[in-house]
Amino acid sequence: MSGFGGYSGQAYSPAGDKGRFVLPAAFRKAVKESSDGNRILCLAAHDRFDCLVGFGLSRTTKLHAQLDREEERAISLGNHAFDREVRAQQLFGFEQLPFDDSGRFVMPEHLRDLGKVSDGLYFQGAGDFFFIWNPAELARMGVEWKGAQAACAKLIATAKKGNA
């Protein structure tokens, strides 16, 4: 895991046959480094946006620390509504998906539905994790997403030219 430097950059991957998708090379390398050399992609629905998040297994340590911090904060603020079990299932409800040397993986149907996945996936690095967007959903986001929206549009145009 010492080679893992976080997730950065952007990529687009069209939907493949048989419900398969391809984890782009730059993200594939980072996920493998973050998963101690194993080809395991962790995927979950984002808690606020209509997209998915991806990461490697090493993030689980940070998620445990986050859960502890959130509980400590709730206790210090007297927030009796905080439910550690509910929050734990939100943080650790991700799927662990194997991918092959080419990055191909099968996305479970419930994640496809939650991420509103259709014809292709746009990947956007975000440090400890990366976003996985349906380009149409990303296009609906506000101005704070304009860099990702522009990169996504350009990558899709380039992919279409390559298939023409």
Name residue, tokens 């998963």: 35
Question: What is the pTM assigned to this prediction?
Answer: 0.85
Distances (CA, A) of 73 to 68, 86, 97: 9, 16, 33
Which residues touch 67 (CB under 8 Å, ≥6 apart)? 84, 87, 88, 91
Q: What is the pLDDT of residue 163?
A: 67
Residue 28 in 3-state DSSP? helix
Would the pLDDT of 146 be above 50?
Answer: yes
Domains of the chain in start order, with CATH, are 10-163 (3.40.1550.20)
pLDDT band at 164 (very low <50, low <70, confident <90, very high): low
pLDDT of residue 1: 42
